[in-house]
Amino acid sequence: MDISILYNKCGDLCAGLENISFYQKRNLITLYNDIHETTSFLNNYNVSMKERIFYIKNNLLNLQQCIYCNINKLTYHTNTKSLSVTCGNDDCIKKSKLRYRDTSHLYVYKTCNCGSQYKVSKKSGLSKQYCSRKCYVKFKQYTHSVYTIEKIRISNKKTHNDPKWRESKKDIYDQSHKKISATMKKKISEGSFTPCITNSWTKWSAYVNINNQCRKFRSFWEASFFVLNTNLEFEKIRIPYTYNNQIHSYIVDFVDMTNKILYEIKPNSTKTNELNQIKFSAAHDWAKINGYSFKIISDDWFKQNAKTIDYTNHPQLYSSMKQFL
């Protein structure tokens, strides 16, 4: 091949060729031919030597065509040493823009333990196992170490006992407590919530086992009364009453739905309390309107019936009933 032709074709690659020795020129021609032979699939296009070298360096051994039309060749950018995304055709450019606006191909959907689906990035989010922090805490079953728990306890105690901190949060807590109180009162009055029996002073001791079923009560007197009246329903009826200009719900101890009788368990020592008298008055009014009768079960009833309780099967009741035996 004539050196002048090679110079014209190679441009910068062959600059200063006149000053190169014969052996170096021969090696350069061999390299030139090898490059052309390796990138012969580019011969039909007007490409530079730099583009051919780019193909070889990036191990691209076939023509890089536009993925949208699969016809036109991608343009080589000399300044950035890279190929264009599209061939430059207007339709292909529009398709490319739409593809990058649609990011669905960048994400996958996974199902959380709670049953909901969540989106994670293919690039960095495939390791994400839960849809939210709440589910992570719930299903991961992560527990703090004993040292961390103690550290948190001390920190919380120090913070919440600080008078300045308590004063700064007073309005927030007051509003929160009012909201919670109103919600709980509504649920109690509707019958959808009953205060937990573990709030009782008996601390789980006031219970009875009937037909292999454990029933818990708020007092030993209630448990003893139920042993002799297993057909009754416990804390089923709610009756509204007003105390200190606020509306409350009176939860009657027992109700006989068949005979329409309300039963309230109260010792003689507390029957005359102001609050109890208000509750009893509301219960009498409710019973009159709804066709029920209202009865108060106190010391006299237990004096007559305590001896009929089977203390062999219910030994936990004996200590509270022995005064009536």
3-state SS track over the chain:
CCHHHHHHHHHHHHCCHHHCCHHHHHHHHHHHHHHHHHCHHHCCCCCCHHHHHHHHHCCCCCCCECCCCCCCECCEECCCCEECCCCCCHHHHHHHHHHHHCCHHHEEEEECCCCCEEEEECCCCCCCCCCCHHHHHHHHCCCCCHHHHHHHHHHHHHHHCCHHHHHHCHHHHHHHHHHHHHHHHHHHHHCCCCCCHHHCCCCCCCEEEECCEEEECCCHHHHHHHHCCCCCEECCCEEEEEECCEEEEEECCEEECCCCEEEEECCCCCCCCHHHHHHHHHHHHHHHHHCCEEEEECHHHHHHHHHHCCCCCCHHHHHHHHHHC
Give the best-scoring range by mean pLDDT among 42-51, 119-128, 218-227. 218-227
In angstroms, rounded to a whole number, what is the distance separating the alpha carbons of residues 212 and 210? Answer: 5
User: Does residue 14 register a pLDDT over 60?
Assistant: no
What mean pLDDT comes out for the span 133-147?
81
User: Does residue 115 register a pLDDT over 70?
Assistant: yes
Percent of the chain with pLDDT over 70: 86
Q: Are 285 and 260 in contact (CB under 8 A)?
A: no
Structure tokens at 105: 């191909």
User: Does residue 211 register a pLDDT over 90?
Assistant: no
CA distances 182 to 54, 178, 179, 189, 278, Å, are 74, 6, 5, 11, 21
In angstroms, rounded to a whole number, what is the distance separating the alpha carbons of residues 232 and 222? Answer: 11
Structural domain boundaries of the chain? Answer: 3-87, 107-140, 145-193, 197-324
Which pLDDT belongs to residue 274?
93
User: Does residue 110 register a pLDDT over 60?
Assistant: yes
Which pLDDT belongs to residue 80?
85
pLDDT in tens, 257-278: 999 999 999 999 999 899 999 9
Q: Are 246 and 185 in contact (CB under 8 A)?
A: no
In angstroms, rounded to a whole number, what is the distance separating the alpha carbons of residues 235 and 254? Answer: 6
Which pLDDT belongs to residue 1?
44
Confidence of residue 49 (pLDDT cuts 50, 70, 90): confident
Fold of 197-324: Trna Endonuclease; Chain: A, domain 1 (3.40.1350)
Confidence of residue 124 (pLDDT cuts 50, 70, 90): low
Confidence of residue 21 (pLDDT cuts 50, 70, 90): low
In angstroms, rounded to a whole number, what is the distance separating the alpha carbons of residues 94 and 207? Answer: 76
Max CA-CA distance within the chain? 132
pLDDT in tens, 55-97: 888 888 888 988 888 888 888 888 888 898 888 888 888 887 7
User: Does residue 201 register a pLDDT over 60?
Assistant: no
Confidence of residue 254 (pLDDT cuts 50, 70, 90): very high
CA distances 316 to 193, 201, 299, 305, 311, Å, are 28, 15, 19, 17, 8
Structure tokens at 269: 């020592």
Which pLDDT belongs to residue 2?
45
How many other CB atoms are found less than 10 A from the CB of residue 252? 22
**Torsion angle of the four alpha carbons 69, 73, 78, 84, in this order, in degrees rounded to the nearest 10:** 10
Confidence of residue 24 (pLDDT cuts 50, 70, 90): low
In angstroms, rounded to a whole number, what is the distance separating the alpha carbons of residues 28 and 45? Answer: 23
- AA identity, residue 17: L
User: Does residue 6 register a pLDDT over 80?
Assistant: no
Q: Are 234 and 254 in contact (CB under 8 A)?
A: yes
